[in-house]
């Protein structure tokens, strides 16, 4: 582990959960029958349609398979104080990563090869930590139908369109808010806001050839400009219309949120209250914790 990063022992989800996530979750819980629909219909369908298909078509990361990615996973889990899930790498041209967690099954994270190809190791760890944030915050109940919606749209466009039209707006609103929370988890794991914002920059306009040429400071300025424009009445209308049917907030908005939170007292207090310096931890425990 990087000696300049600290493990956040005893870290609780609510200590870094974004207030919009809290508010949207309360709204979702008021939708009659949603939890039952997910657990009794969408959950089993996800297990049958996607869980087995993923294992058959992806590479399971481990000590003997892509060991450097495995180390990034274990380090992020240690910092965020969470049990390691399985990590899979999947051949796919669209840069993406997602998490599945179902009762009776070990949770797992999937990262597409095209995303790995445009990121540095530190940025890959930020992506892993973002997905760990979903598990840390127990987002799986509501994340399952959203992931199914996205996957259905990718594999069977006509069905995906029908699902998107049928999906309640509250669900998409919730997942956009949940993304802000998980970006915070990525920051807590990397403890460097520039790493998280660099991932978002590359998601906005990166490719294997362009990624090395992108200017992070210019992107941060762009994010701040977007934030200023959004404060106007017209800007707010455009932003709402732009994001209404998206499963994620636009990258510049996410970057601005991380830019702001990284300089907050809340973030600093989390590091101060939970941190155990890795150098001290190694001396007292003999090294890595056994999971």
Mean pLDDT across 181-201: 97
Is the pLDDT at 181 greater than 90? The verdict is yes
Question: What is the reported pLDDT for 61?
Answer: 97
Mean pLDDT across 44-70: 83
Q: Which listed residue (23, 63, 83, 131) is catalytic?
A: 131
pLDDT tens digits, one per residue of 213-256: 999 999 999 888 877 766 655 445 444 544 544 445 688 889 99
By the 10 Å C-beta count (0-12 exposed, 13-18 middle, 19+ buried), 87 is classed as buried
Is the pLDDT at 158 greater than 80? The verdict is no
Mean pLDDT across 250-264: 91
As given in the structure block, the two tokens for residue 149 are 């919606």
Is the pLDDT at 26 greater than 60? The verdict is yes
Question: What is the reported pLDDT for 210?
Answer: 93
> Which 3-state string (H, E, C) describes the chain?
CCCCCEEECCCCHHHCCCHHHHHHHHHHHCCCCHHHHHHHHHHHHHHHHHHHHHHHHCEECECCECHHHHHHHHHHHHHHCCCCCEEEEECCCCCCEEEECCCCCCCEEEEEHHHHCCCCHHHHHHHHHHHHHHHHCCCHHHHHHHHHHHHHHHHCHHHHHHHHHHCCHHHHHHHHHHHHHHHHHHHHHHCCHHHHHHHHHHHHHCCCCCHHHCCHHHHHHHHHHHHHHHCCHHHHHHHHHHHCCCCCCCHHHHHHHHHHHHCCHHHHHHHHHHEEEHHHHHHHHCCCCCC
pLDDT tens digits, one per residue of 82-115: 999 999 999 999 999 988 876 667 889 999 999 9
Question: What is the reported pLDDT for 42?
Answer: 58
Higher pLDDT, 82 or 26: 82
Longest dimension (CA), the chain: 58
Task: Please confirm, yes or no, whether 131 is among the known catalytic residues.
Answer: yes
Mean residue pLDDT across the chain: 79
Percent of the chain surpassing pLDDT 70: 66
Question: What is the reported pLDDT for 209?
Answer: 93
Note the pTM of the prediction, 2 decimals.
Answer: 0.81
| Helix 121-136, helix 193-205: angle, nearest 10 | 100
């Amino acid at each position: 582990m990087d000696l300049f990063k600290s493990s956040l022992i005893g870290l609780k989800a609510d200590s870094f959960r974004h207030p919009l996530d809290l508010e949207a979750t309360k709204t979702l819980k008021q939708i009659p029958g949603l939890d039952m629909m997910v657990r009794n219909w969408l959950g089993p369908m996800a297990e049958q349609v996607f869980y087995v298909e993923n294992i058959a078509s992806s590479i399971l990361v481990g000590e003997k398979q892509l060991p450097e990615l495995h180390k990034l996973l274990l380090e992020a889990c240690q910092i965020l104080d969470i049990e390691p899930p399985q990590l899979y790498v999947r051949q796919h041209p669209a840069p993406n990563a997602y998490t599945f967690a179902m009762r009776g099954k070990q949770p797992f994270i999937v990262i597409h090869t095209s995303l790995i190809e445009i990121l540095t190791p530190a940025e890959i760890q930020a992506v892993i930590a973002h997905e760990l944030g979903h598990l840390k915050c127990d987002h799986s109940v509501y994340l399952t139908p959203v992931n199914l919606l996205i996957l259905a749209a990718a594999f069977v466009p006509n069905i995906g369109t029908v699902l998107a039209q049928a999906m309640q707006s509250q669900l998409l609103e919730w997942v956009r808010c949940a993304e802000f929370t998980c970006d915070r988890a990525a920051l807590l794991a990397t403890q460097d806001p520039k790493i998280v914002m660099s991932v978002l920059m590359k998601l906005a306009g990166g490719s294997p050839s362009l990624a090395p040429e992108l200017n992070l400071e210019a992107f941060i300025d762009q994010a701040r400009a977007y934030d200023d424009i959004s404060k106007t009445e017209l800007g707010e209308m455009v932003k709402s219309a732009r994001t209404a049917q998206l499963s994620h907030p636009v990258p510049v908005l996410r970057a601005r949120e991380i830019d702001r939170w990284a300089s907050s007292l809340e973030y600093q207090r989390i590091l101060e209250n939970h941190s155990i310096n890795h150098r001290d931890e190694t001396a007292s425990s003999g090294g890595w914790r056994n999971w």
